């Protein structure tokens, strides 16, 4: 990966004999050991419902580790968190702290309708919510298109290349195309390649 490149690693934990695997943590620490920078840890909160467990709280999230080589070259933070005092003028003067510690008055400001979102991202992930493409649900574990869209916007610009080495039903490829990014998808299962190709309207060439 080039300097400034970003990896988004989405991972949850399994439970083995009542013991959380913590595979997520192990992988995160390993990424740091081999030289990646852990730029952010974002929670993918799943809004979809599922039958409750008997003995533990229902797990409603996965981690999304945002790893970079050096610092990310592209950072387009999404501003969609409604501000409480949107369109009001600040009560007092806004000040800027200078390097020598003094404060420079910057006058009053109008509060923008939306601010930068937090690092907990919530998506509807159930059947019918993740995508409108029926064919995609032939894959058992698809990402919501919106989740993919938010990451591609955040960490790349038009014309950049997005690689998905575990591309499943082709969600990343689909959204990358819509957002004018180039893409490369890799998938080990021929059946899932068929699903992705059909979803993307591509010819499937057997190797
Ligand atoms: C969680 S799914 C990804 C789903 C995808 N994000 C989507 O929205 O459809 C992970 C995929 O990785 C594939 N996979 C697992 N090991 C792989 C490998 N070594 N090389 C390529 N693909 C692999 C699996 O077959 C599976 O389709």
In this prediction, residue 107 carries a pLDDT of 86
Task: Tell me 137's DSSP state.
Answer: G
Mutate to test the pocket of ligand 1, among 132, 140, 168, 195 (most ligand atoms within 8 A of CB): 168
Residue 86 near ligand 1, beta carbon < 6 Å? no
Q: What are the φ and ψ backbone dihedral angles of 164, each rounded to 5 degrees?
A: -120, 105
Domain boundaries, the chain: 6-78+117-200, 79-116
Three-point CA angle 22, 24, 27, nearest 5°: 115
Say whether pLDDT at 8 is over 60. yes
Taking residues 155-162, report their average pLDDT.
98
Instruction: Collect all residues with Cβ–Cβ distance below 8 Å to 102 and sequence separation of at least 6.
Output: none
Map residue 175 onto helix, strand or coil: helix
Does this model's pTM top 0.95? My answer is no
pLDDT digits (tens, 9 = 90+) for 81-100: 999 888 888 777 788 899 89
For atom 19 of ligand 1, the residue with the nearest CA is 188
Question: 207: pLDDT confidence band, cut at 50, 70 and 90?
Answer: low
The pairing of beta strand 182-185 with beta strand 161-164: parallel
> In the predicted model, what is the mean pLDDT of the chain?
93
Q: What are the φ and ψ backbone dihedral angles of 190, each rounded to 5 degrees?
A: -60, -35
Q: Can you tell me which atom of ligand 1 is nearest the CA of 171? A: 8
Say whether pLDDT at 109 is over 90. no
With left for phi above 0 and alpha for psi between -120 and 50, is residue 25 left, alpha or beta? alpha
Q: Which CATH architecture has domain 6-78+117-200?
A: 3-Layer(aba) Sandwich (3.40)
Q: What are the φ and ψ backbone dihedral angles of 152, each rounded to 5 degrees?
A: -60, -40
In this prediction, residue 95 carries a pLDDT of 86
Instruction: Collect all residues with Cβ–Cβ distance below 8 Å to 166 and sequence separation of at least 6.
Output: 186, 187
For atom 1 of ligand 1, the residue with the nearest CA is 141
In this prediction, residue 135 carries a pLDDT of 96
CB 103 within 8 A of CB 96: yes
Token pair listed for 43: 């929670």
Map residue 104 onto helix, strand or coil: strand
CB 193 within 8 A of CB 187: yes
The pairing of beta strand 61-68 with beta strand 103-105: unpaired
Lowest-pLDDT choice from 10-24, 76-90, 138-152, 175-189: 76-90
Mutate to test the pocket of ligand 1, among 162, 188, 200 (most ligand atoms within 8 A of CB): 188
Q: Can you tell me which atom of ligand 1 is nearest the CA of 170? A: 9
For atom 5 of ligand 1, the residue with the nearest CA is 168
Lowest-pLDDT choice from 22-26, 48-52, 148-152, 169-173: 48-52
Mutate to test the pocket of ligand 1, among 167, 190, 196 (most ligand atoms within 8 A of CB): 167
Distance between the two ends of the chain, CA-based, in angstroms?
Answer: 27
In this prediction, residue 206 carries a pLDDT of 63
Which residues on adjacent β-strands are paired with residue 163?
Answer: 184
Cα Dmax for the chain: 67
With left for phi above 0 and alpha for psi between -120 and 50, is residue 39 left, alpha or beta? alpha
């Amino acid at each position: 990966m080039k300097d400034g490149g970003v990896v988004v690693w989405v991972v949850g934990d399994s439970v083995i004999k009542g013991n959380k695997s913590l595979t997520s943590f192990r992988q995160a620490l390993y990424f740091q050991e081999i030289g990646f920078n852990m730029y952010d840890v974002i929670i993918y909160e799943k809004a979809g419902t599922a039958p409750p467990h008997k003995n533990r709280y229902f797990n409603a999230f996965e981690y999304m580790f945002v790893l970079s080589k050096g610092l990310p070259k592209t950072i387009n933070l999404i501003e969609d968190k409604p501000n409480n005092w949107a369109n009001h003028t600040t009560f007092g003067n806004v000040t800027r702290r200078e390097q020598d510690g003094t404060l420079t008055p910057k006058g009053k400001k109008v509060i923008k309708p939306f601010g930068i979102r937090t690092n907990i991202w919530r998506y509807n992930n159930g059947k019918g919510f993740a995508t409108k493409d029926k064919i995609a649900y032939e894959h058992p574990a698809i990402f919501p298109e919106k989740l993919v869209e938010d990451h591609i916007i955040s960490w790349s610009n038009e014309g950049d290349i997005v690689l998905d080495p575990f591309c499943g039903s082709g969600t990343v490829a689909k959204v990358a195309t819509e957002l004018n990014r180039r893409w490369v998808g890799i998938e080990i299962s021929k059946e899932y390649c068929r699903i992705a190709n059909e979803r993307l309207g591509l010819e499937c060439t057997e190797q």
